[in-house]
Amino acid sequence: MSEEPLLSVRDLKKHYTSSRGGLFSRETTRVRAVDGVSFDVYPGEALGLVGESGCGKSTTASSMLRLTEPTSGEVIFNGGGRGGAVRNDDGTHPNDVTRFDRQELKAFRRDAQLIFQDPTSSFDPRMSVGASVGELPLVHGMKDPERRRAIVEDLLERVGLSAEDYDRYPHEFSGGEKQRLALARALVLNPELLVADEPVSALDVSIQADILALIDDLRTAFGLSVLFISHDISVVRELCDRTAVMYLGEIVEIGPTEAVFENPQHPYTEALLSAVPTPDPRSRGDHIQLTGSVPSPSDPPSGCRFHTRCHRVIQPEGVDLDQSVWRRLLDFRERVVAGDIDAESVRERLRADVEAHGGADASTERAAANDGGEVRTDADDAARVRAAYDLPATLSDPTAERAVADAVAALLAGEDDRAAAGLADAFTTPCAETVPEFTDHGAGHRAACIRHRPDYDGFDAG
Ligand SMILES: Nc1ncnc2c1ncn2[C@@H]1O[C@H](COP(=O)(O)OP(=O)(O)OP(=O)(O)O)[C@@H](O)[C@H]1O
């Protein structure tokens, strides 16, 4: 797109500092809620921002609107008659919201409006909804009450309510109607940008589609740009021209919605899409099961942040295992290194397994052996541990096999550190070492996955 964006967000970061051990603790952690996101919103377009809960979508919106102060980055807003501005000699930009003074911020807040998930909390229960919607024009200097009333009544009708609703109170409206009221209030100052943060998530499924259709109609009628935030990728598909996918504080893929949905270039996007139920009988419906838990934004994984859960995580030079086995090995490694799997937990699993299968524990079996009974060997124990942790009985790759066998033996011998060190050494992935850069996939479709680097095999999303 060659036209000037209405909004350009560049390398935006918001890190929260919180104390680890309570109010009086000196130990602090830095939560990298938003960690360097960049995107543009063009005039009249709807851009979707999608990702799991906690990935930083709301923080992106609130930092961008300066409802919370961003840690760093630029937010260039070319609306409000500010278009065509060029950078100052010192490199700063006159339209950078992060540098706006009070007056500029007031004007920006008129031009960029926010609606969010729960409209109830944003209406004063003691005020008629007409007065609530008309409050902003009053604050911005529209003194004539009749004119204000006429504008509000017109807006109420445009959002699917009626002029007579003006004198009613918030409790008289349903959730969907309150979201319509929130839209009326957001639009009363004729903004250029609407940020809609999960606007339908709290609503009954039966009315979600109506509200989405309304946002779409209003976008056209008011010539609005919309930044639409949702954890639900199928809702984004309904409404948005372009889609940005966010994971753990970063955007990992962005592009025209059709391209992102039809030809996802990042494994995380693929996984999100695979979770969407489809009525299409031709669809293979392969659900990608993401392993591992979502890492904390206070201690994000090195390299590609998604590598700890990625089903396409790269195998190092010389290793050629079945991809699902490779994923399981890395999961095992992660858990042993993190101390989640240690000698004690292994013994516990072993005991549970022996009991479940009607066997005796090792000491009784060994006693039985002295009486000429059947003996349970270390090899049996190792096999049980491998099965308990979803590891194959043997691996085709001899080096990998040796590393797993050694680690299991070390765990059985109570040597947790040796197990962890051996696995950490043996199983490495380039994805943990290299921060992926964005690669271009045509028509503004970009993704940050190191599989797209020319020195790695191509990525087949199919
Ligand atoms: N005030 C705060 N102090 C510390 N951490 C915060 C604060 N606000 C948000 N976070 C953390 O920042 C991360 C991003 O939160 P954010 O609400 O932006 O995510 P989200 O994608 O919008 O998720 P959700 O849809 O659940 O709101 C989370 O780990 C959250 O716990």
pLDDT tens string 143-197: 888 999 999 999 999 999 999 999 999 999 999 999 999 999 999 999 999 999 9
Q: How confident is the model at residue 317 (pLDDT cuts 50, 70, 90)?
A: confident
Residues 179, 52 within the same domain: yes
Q: Rounded distance, CA 219 to CA 193, Å? A: 9
Return the higher-pLDDT residue of 352 and 166. 166
Q: Counting atoms of ligand 1 from 1, which one is nearest the CA of 17?
A: 4
In this prediction, residue 456 carries a pLDDT of 72
Residues 333, 193 within the same domain: no
- CB of 99 closer than 6 angstroms to any ligand 1 atom: no
How many helices (H) and strands (E) the chain has is answered by 16, 11
Q: How confident is the model at residue 461 (pLDDT cuts 50, 70, 90)?
A: very low
In this prediction, residue 360 carries a pLDDT of 52
Phi, psi of 17 (to 5 degrees): -110, 125
pLDDT tens per residue across span 400-435: 999 999 999 999 888 989 999 999 998 999 999 999
Tell me how long the chain is. 462
Residues 234, 327 within the same domain: no
pLDDT tens per residue across span 269-306: 999 998 877 665 555 556 787 777 789 999 999 999 99
Last residue of a domain, one of 216, 240, 264: 240
With beta carbons less than 8 A apart as the criterion, state whether 365 and 355 touch.
Answer: no
Residues 180, 51 within the same domain: yes
Q: Counting atoms of ligand 1 from 1, which one is nearest the CA of 59?
A: 18
Residues 347, 214 within the same domain: no
What percentage of the chain reaches a pLDDT higher than 90? 69
Return the higher-pLDDT residue of 361 and 19. 19
In this prediction, residue 348 carries a pLDDT of 82
Q: Counting atoms of ligand 1 from 1, which one is nearest the CA of 31?
A: 5
Indicate the burial class of 262 (C-beta count within 10 angstroms; 0-12, 13-18, 19 or more): exposed
Residue 265 counted as domain residue: no
Strand stretches in 95-241, DSSP E: 112-116, 193-197, 225-230
Residues 137, 29 within the same domain: yes
Residue 128 counted as domain residue: yes
Residues 223, 329 within the same domain: no
Q: Counting atoms of ligand 1 from 1, which one is nearest the CA of 298?
A: 29
Whether the per-residue pLDDT at 361 is higher than 60: the answer is: no
Q: Rounded distance, CA 296 to CA 298, Å? A: 5
In this prediction, residue 366 carries a pLDDT of 47
Residues 52, 182 within the same domain: yes
Q: How confident is the model at residue 26 (pLDDT cuts 50, 70, 90)?
A: low
Residue 315 counted as domain residue: no
295 alpha carbon – ligand 1 mean position (Å): 13
In this prediction, residue 294 carries a pLDDT of 83
The rounded mean pLDDT for the chain is 88
Residues 331, 222 within the same domain: no
Residue 391 counted as domain residue: yes
Q: Rounded distance, CA 45 to CA 367, Å? A: 76
- CB of 118 closer than 6 angstroms to any ligand 1 atom: no
19 alpha carbon – ligand 1 mean position (Å): 16
With beta carbons less than 8 A apart as the criterion, state whether 265 and 459 touch.
Answer: yes
Last residue of a domain, one of 240, 257, 292: 240
Q: How confident is the model at residue 330 (pLDDT cuts 50, 70, 90)?
A: very high
Q: How confident is the model at residue 368 (pLDDT cuts 50, 70, 90)?
A: very low
Interface predicted TM-score (ipTM): 0.97
Closest to 58 (Cα-Cα) out of 227, 298, 236: 227
Closest to 113 (Cα-Cα) out of 96, 131, 91, 137: 137
What is the rounded average pLDDT of the residues 341-365?
Answer: 70
pLDDT tens per residue across span 39-67: 999 999 999 999 999 999 999 999 999 99
Residue 410 counted as domain residue: yes
Whether the per-residue pLDDT at 331 is higher than 50: the answer is: yes
Residue 448 counted as domain residue: no
Residues 338, 231 within the same domain: no
Residues 116, 227 within the same domain: yes
Q: How confident is the model at residue 454 (pLDDT cuts 50, 70, 90)?
A: confident
Whether the per-residue pLDDT at 376 is higher than 70: the answer is: no
- CB of 34 closer than 6 angstroms to any ligand 1 atom: no
> Containing domain of residue 400, as a range?
323-355+377-428
In this prediction, residue 342 carries a pLDDT of 81
In this prediction, residue 453 carries a pLDDT of 84
In this prediction, residue 374 carries a pLDDT of 52
- CB of 385 closer than 6 angstroms to any ligand 1 atom: no
What is the rounded average pLDDT of the residues 112-132?
Answer: 91
Last residue of a domain, one of 189, 211, 240: 240
Half-sphere exposure of 182 (CA within 13 A, CB side): 26
Phi, psi of 139 (to 5 degrees): -60, -35
Residue 234 counted as domain residue: yes
Residue 290 counted as domain residue: no
297 alpha carbon – ligand 1 mean position (Å): 9
Q: Rounded distance, CA 75 to CA 320, Å? A: 45
Q: Beta strand pairing status for 193-197 and 112-116?
A: parallel
* Ligand 1, atom 10, residue with closest C-alpha: 33
What percentage of the chain reaches a pLDDT higher than 70? 90
Helix ranges (DSSP H) in 248-322: 257-262, 267-274
- CB of 113 closer than 6 angstroms to any ligand 1 atom: no
In this prediction, residue 281 carries a pLDDT of 54
**Number of domains present in the structure of the chain:** 2
Q: The domain spanning residue 139 has which CATH number?
A: 3.40.50.300
Residues 200, 332 within the same domain: no
What is the rounded average pLDDT of the residues 241-258?
Answer: 98
Please report, for residues 443, 445, 450, 451, the alpha-carbon distance to residue 265 in angstroms, rounded to integers and kept in the order given.
13, 9, 11, 9
